[in-house]
Structure 1
C-alpha cells in the first residue's frame, strides 16, 4: 500500500485550473458539478468521472480524448497505462495482456494521487534496491581495474546471446568453421527497436496498404508493437503466429514484407522439404557434415538478435526414422522461456534464441500438430477479393506499364480461380521484358 503524500499548493492550483478548463470546454457549470452525487462528498475529479461514464472504458476514453484533442485526459490515461503495465509483470519477465487490461480498467476508477504515489514508491524502492546491490555486491572491486566498472560495462543497446568456451583442444583448433561461427556469435548483438509510436504506425500502415485483406493479423501485430514500446528494449518482435489459408493468398508474401518494412533479418524454412530435425536444432560436431541449425545460422548472418523466421507450409512437414521430427525440434524454440537457454549440439553450448520472431503458414489446420497450435496465435486468412485485389494488382503491374483493362482482366482471372497471386511476379517480369525491347521502325 502506497503512502499518502500531502498535495502542494502548486498542485492544488494547477488542478483547479485544469478543471476550470475542463468545465469551460464541455460547458459544465459549477453548480452541476456539486450536485452530481449529493449523497456523499466527492472530489471534483471523482464527480466528473461519475458524471461522464466514458471513464469506465479506458480504450473508449482514449479515443474520445484523442478526437477532442484533450491533453489533460490523455496524460491521465498514460499514467494509468504505465501503472497497469508495471503491475502486469509475470515471474518469467514477460507481461500478461489479460492482467494489463483488467488492471487498467480498475485503475481508471482510482484517484490520480493514489496512482502517482504508488509509482513514486516503486521508483524509490527500485533505487534503494539498486544502491544496496551496488554497495553490498562488490561494486567497489572495479576501483583497481576500470574494465570491471559495472557502469562502464553496461551497454543499453546490446546484449550477449552466446559465450564461446575456451578453445584448448587440438580438435577445436582444427575446426576452423566452428571457431569462426563461435567468434561471430560471441559479439554483443543489437536489439532492433522502435523509436516511437509514429514509426510503428507508419510501418504497419504501409503493411496494411500492401495487404488490406490481412487486416486482422496486421492489427494483432500492430497492437503487440505498441505494447513493446513500454518494454525496456522497445524491441521489434511478437509471439509466434500461424497463418492458415488457401494457396496463393499472400501468407508468405506478407511475412517477408513484414521483415522488409520493419528492417528485420528474415529467413525462410520450407517445412515441406524437411523430414528431420537437423536443420532446426543442428547436428553434433563429431559428424563430417555437421552444422548449426537454421536459427543459429540466421543469427550468425544477422547484426541484430531479433530476426524473423518464416516456417512455410508447416502442415506438410515430414518425419524420418533416424533424423527426428522437425516439428518436435521447433517446440522448445517457440517458447521464450525455453529458447532462452537453447543448447546447440554443434556449438556445444547454450545460446539465447528467445529474441527471434516466428511466423508459420499452413493450408490445412487439421494437419498442423496440436503442440504447434498451442504455442501459436492462429489466424484464418483468405485470398483477396474486390477492391483489395485490384489495389494489389495495380501496385504490381501498374509501374511496369499495364493499363486499366489489363489490371481488370487479371483481377477477374484471379477471382475465377484461373490464376494465383504468384503469377503476378511472372506477369511483372514479362511486362518489364516487353518494355525493354527495342522499338522497330
Structure 2
C-alpha cells in the first residue's frame, strides 16, 4: 500500500516492508509488529477514502474504524465488503494489492474469510496464469480445489457462504462441493480407524449393584471398550501462531508448547501430547485460565477443570469409590466418556491453594499418582474397580505461589513463569475480552454493541499508563458493552 501525503499513521517509512504481501502470506506468518503496521496503514487508507463512498457506507465505515484500530477481527470482516466499494472487485487487477493487504491483516487475525479470499486469488492465478507461469497448473489447481472445500466447511461456522459470495463476487462458493459422498464416507471411516488411538480400560469393569451407577457403568463399557481415539497433533506453527496472537505476553509458554509438539512430531508422535505436565506460574489476572481454555479449543482437545482452591478433598479429581453414597469415576475417565477422546486436557486451577487431609484425601497426592508416568499407565479407578491408562492425558496446572506446592509434585512439572500483559498487548487483550463476552452470550463478536470510541481511548490510556490491570480492563469492557446496548436502545425508542 502506498502512503498518501498527509497520512498520520506513522508507517510511511516502513512501507517497503509491506510490499509483495501475498508472497509473504504464502511463506510465513506476519509478526505482531507487521500486523500493527498493516492495521494502522489500512485504517489510515480507509479514513482518506471516506469521502469517496456513499453516505450510508460512510456512516457504517466510520463506526467500524475504531473497532478495527483496536484489532477486532470481526470489525475487519465487516469492513472488507465496504472498502470494496472503492477498492474494486476481486477481478480488478489494479486494486488487488490493496485487497491483499486487507486479507493479510484478516488472515493474521485468524479470520477464515481472509484465508478464503486469498485462496480464491491463488485459484484465479491458476485458472488464468500469466504468460510466464509454469506448466504444472493441474496439480496446483487440484490442491487449491481441495483446500477450497475445507474452507467452505470452516466458513460455514462464521457466516452464510451466500452472503460472503454476494459481498465479494465469489460465486464459486455457491457451487456444490465437488466431493463423492460415498468415497468421502469411506475415507472418513478409514481416517477414524487409522488415526491415533489407545486402550483406556485395561480390563472389563465388574458389575455393580448400585442402581444409580449401573447406567453410567454400562455407558463406560460401551464407549471406552477397545481402542479409544486420541486427538491428533496439530501443526505446531499454526497452533502457536494463533496462541501468540491472542496471548503475546505468554511467549515462554507458547514456545514451550511449540517446541514440545515439534519434537514430538519429529519423533513420530501423531497425537497431541506434552512431554511433561505444564505449570503456569504467575500473578492472578494475567490470563492463565483463559490460555488453557483457548489451547484446548484451538487444539481440538476436550477439557475439564478442577478448582483446587475450593477443594477440601480429592474427590473432584479422583472420584468416589464403590460403597459410597454416590459412585463417581475419576475426572479424566468422565472426560473420556463424554467426548470419547483418550487425551483430554485437565486443568487444575490454583493448585498452590489445594486443601485436603490425610483422612479425606489430599489433591496433591492424587495428582502425583496421576502424573507419575509409571503409575498413570495403570491408575486404579476405584469407581470402575479396574486400572485405566491415563498416560496420554494432557495436564495443565496454574499457580500464583510455587512455594506452596510440595517439592515432590514440583519435580514432576515443567514450570513456566507468566508475566503481566505489557502496554503493547492492549489490542490482544481487548480482542480477547470481546471474544469472551461473545462466548458468554453465544453470539459473534460482530453482534456485540459498539463501544464508544472515547471510552475505548480512555481504557487504552489507563492500561498503557499502568492504572488498569487485565481483570479491571475486562470489567470495564463489559460495562462499555452495556453502555453501548443502552445507547442503541435509546436510539430505537
Q: Scaled by the length of structure 2, what TM-score is found?
A: 0.53
Partner Cα separation in structure 1 for residue 306 and residue 479 of structure 2: 28
1:130 maps to none
**Does the C-alpha gap of structure 1 residues 363 and 169 become closer, same or farther in structure 2, counting only changes over 3 Å?**
closer
**Does the C-alpha gap of structure 1 residues 303 and 434 become closer, same or farther in structure 2, counting only changes over 3 Å?**
farther
Residues 1:337 and 2:374 aligned together: yes
Which of the two has higher C-alpha Rg?
1
CA contact (8 A) 1:182 1:347 kept: no
* Cα shift at 1:278: 2.1
1:175 maps to 214
1:226 maps to 262
Partner Cα separation in structure 2 for residue 324 and residue 408 of structure 1: 50
Partner Cα separation in structure 2 for residue 396 and residue 173 of structure 1: 41
- Segments of 5+ residues of structure 1 without an aligned counterpart are 1-65, 68-153
Matches within 5 A, 1:398-409: 400=448, 401-402=450-451, 405-409=454-458
In structure 2, the residue corresponding to 1:228 is in which secondary structure? Answer: helix
2:300 maps to 263
Candidates 206, 211, 219, aligned match of 2:242: 206
**Does the C-alpha gap of structure 1 residues 342 and 378 become closer, same or farther in structure 2, counting only changes over 3 Å?**
same
In structure 2, the residue corresponding to 1:299 is in which secondary structure? Answer: helix
Candidates 275, 300, 309, aligned match of 2:346: 309
2:252 maps to 216
1:381 maps to 418
Partner Cα separation in structure 2 for residue 169 and residue 394 of structure 1: 50
2:321 maps to 284
Residues 1:252 and 2:289 aligned together: yes
1:151-182 deviation digits (Å, cap 9, x = unpaired): xxx95532221145275676689833333333
**Does the C-alpha gap of structure 1 residues 384 and 275 become closer, same or farther in structure 2, counting only changes over 3 Å?**
same
In structure 2, the residue corresponding to 1:382 is in which secondary structure? Answer: coil
Bigger mean CA deviation after superposition, 297-306 or 201-210: 297-306
Residues 1:297 and 2:346 aligned together: no
Q: Scaled by the length of structure 1, what TM-score is found?
A: 0.59
Residues 1:366 and 2:415 aligned together: no
Q: C-alpha root-mean-square deviation of aligned residues, in Å?
A: 2.9
Residues 1:421 and 2:489 aligned together: no
Candidates 222, 242, 264, aligned match of 2:279: 242
In structure 2, the residue corresponding to 1:358 is in which secondary structure? Answer: strand
1:274 maps to 311
* Cα shift at 1:402: 2.9
Aligned residues: 287
* Cα shift at 1:371: 1.4
Partner Cα separation in structure 2 for residue 173 and residue 325 of structure 1: 27
1:44-82 deviation digits (Å, cap 9, x = unpaired): xxxxxxxxxxxxxxxxxxxxxx99xxxxxxxxxxxxxxx
* Cα shift at 1:315: 0.6
2:385 maps to 348
CA contact (8 A) 2:244 2:250 kept: yes
1:173-219 deviation digits (Å, cap 9, x = unpaired): 98333333333322521111136xxx321111010010011101100
Partner Cα separation in structure 2 for residue 395 and residue 349 of structure 1: 42
1:108 maps to none
CA contact (8 A) 2:206 2:385 kept: no
Residues 1:326 and 2:363 aligned together: yes
Partner Cα separation in structure 1 for residue 427 and residue 311 of structure 2: 36
